[in-house]
Amino acid sequence: MGLNETLIFYLLVGVAIAVAVFLVDGRQNVSRTGFLLLTSVLFWPLYLPLLLSARTARDVAPEPASKPQPDEMASAIAQVELELDLALSSLGGWAENALACEKVRIGELRHALAAQAARIREMDDLLSRTTTTQIDPSAKPQTDGPPVHDALDRWQKSQHARAQNLSRLAQVRRQTHADLMATLAWIRELVSMIHLAKFTGAPASRAEELVAQIAAAVEGVSAVAWQEPEPLTHNPTQSQPVLRPWLPTETRTVIHH
């Protein structure tokens, strides 16, 4: 088969793809439709992925009316990311190297923040679902015959343990949420320090140090996000201070439960 025959087949496939493109995207303005049709005949290999992903793209981008509103955590993370972007972009002409070194870790930090927020939402979802089925450890199961004491005792213990586990899960949720908020506050503090350092004529090494501290926050977030849920030994009703171990000594924050 020579080049002529290949081109004929190529253009035939192109026409078929152009028709498909018209059916999917064709009800827009004339110039755009014309351009799409012409280029999809000539460059159909580029339009094929576009056609194949059409359905999924529509599923991914739902109608604005049905879009869920971002919750408080998402808003807080977005705000902190905005401030962080602003601070990092202000490094241009002063300490670009600082950003170049920590770009990957700052990207990881964003993902870690989002992951931790998702984890909290998951716990919220789980807790809201389990609390709908009220747990009463003192309640007795309904049986037709006379209750067997051993089985009843086991049942009550299991119920009690379940209630305790859920209570601990709620504590873990509160702790994770507090950690996330502390990290966000810490990033904001460092961002303000970057602005301050820039306008007080601090050396570029100071910016590098601050950016490195922001990037280091990812370790704290990741550690919280991936740690095993250890049993809580302290009494949540007492006001126990918890130190954030990843923070530098001079700015270490104290969170009271």
Residues that bind another protein (CB under 8 A): 3, 7, 32, 35-36, 39, 42-43, 45-47, 49-50, 52-54, 56-57, 60-61, 70, 72-76, 78-82, 85-86, 89, 104, 107-108, 111, 177-178, 181-182, 184-185, 222, 255-256
Q: CA-CA distance, 147 to 223, in Å (whole number)?
A: 47
Shortest Å, Cβ 249 to another protein: 20
Q: Which two tokens stand for residue 200?
A: 């007080």
Beta carbons of 86 and 190 less than 8 angstroms apart: no
Nearest CB to another protein, comparing residues 39 and 130? 39
Nearest CB to another protein, comparing residues 44 and 206? 44
Shortest Å, Cβ 138 to another protein: 33
Q: How many Å is the maximal CA-CA distance in the chain? A: 91
Shortest Å, Cβ 62 to another protein: 10
Q: CA-CA distance, 77 to 83, in Å (whole number)?
A: 10
Q: CA-CA distance, 105 to 223, in Å (whole number)?
A: 14
Shortest Å, Cβ 49 to another protein: 4
**Terminal CA-to-CA distance of the chain, rounded, Å?**
77
Nearest CB to another protein, comparing residues 124 and 209? 124
